[in-house]
Amino acid sequence: MDLAINLQRATGKLLSERMEIRANLSRQLFLDIAVNWFRDFDRIKLDETKGVRPARLIAYLMFWIRKVKPVSAAYREADLRAARLSGGSVPSSKEIIDINERVAILLAFEFLADYAKGKSIIVYDASLGMDRPYIYDRTKFDAAVDRYLNQRLGSDGKSVLQTLIRDMRYKAFGPHNLVHLMDQFVFRLVSE
């Protein structure tokens, strides 16, 4: 139950403070996410002899947020203000229908930052020839996330973020895909 409450709070904070979005959050669906995530965690921790990597834990949480979709009726605060000022309602075309995918991605990097603060992100340092804890610096970490999500892919010019949202929303996209995504980002942190 604590995970569900904390996840709902973190989502609400992300939406209001960082994204400037107002939305409905379902406590029952956050509970559903927590139950499914704990079931996965119990299963995957049996496979790991050195403990479960934070990237893997986070990827499974991302998967359940995206799958269960606990956020609904999401609108930008600016659109709500404009509608209030004009005396009308917000057009349905302004609803952010991919909000759960966006929340899953942004929360994943927030949680990864928390693990990095606690020195739980282990990276391979080629100059030392060994693994070491990632040395956390919020400004550098945020810049690395920004570069990673905004890099352009292929000839269509879509960013990693745009491609990831589309794939999470419309394609067969499981937790293993997300584990690779998070591991790739952690791997890149060494060179940042």
How far is CA 42 from each of CA 3, 60, 112, rounded to the nearest angstrom?
15, 12, 20
Q: Kindly state the helix (H) or strand (E) to which residue 124 belongs, with its residue range.
A: strand 122-125
DSSP helix, strand, coil percent of the chain (3-state; round to 5) = 65, 10, 25
pLDDT of residue 26: 98
Q: How far apart are CA 105 and CA 165, in angstroms?
A: 8
pLDDT of residue 155: 77
pLDDT of residue 154: 74
pLDDT of residue 22: 97
Q: Are 167 and 180 in contact (CB under 8 A)?
A: no
Phi, psi of 63 (to 5 degrees): -55, -45
How far is CA 40 from each of CA 10, 55, 58, 128, 140, rounded to the nearest angstrom?
21, 14, 11, 35, 32
pLDDT digits (tens, 9 = 90+) for 69-97: 999 999 999 999 999 999 999 999 999 99
Mean pLDDT rounded to a whole number for the chain: 91
pLDDT digits (tens, 9 = 90+) for 109-154: 999 999 888 888 887 777 788 888 888 899 999 999 999 999 998 7
pLDDT of residue 192: 58
Residue 51 CA, distance from chain mean position:
21
pLDDT digits (tens, 9 = 90+) for 142-156: 999 999 999 998 778
Give the ranges where 75-171 is alpha helix by DSSP (H). 77-86, 99-117, 138-150, 160-170
Band the pLDDT of 50: cuts 50, 70, 90. Answer: low
Q: How far apart are CA 167 and CA 171, in angstroms?
A: 5
Q: Are 153 and 159 in contact (CB under 8 A)?
A: yes
pLDDT of residue 159: 94
Q: How far apart are CA 144 and CA 188, in angstroms?
A: 8
Phi, psi of 23 (to 5 degrees): -155, 165
Q: What is the average per-residue pLDDT within 161-181?
A: 91
Band the pLDDT of 53: cuts 50, 70, 90. Answer: confident
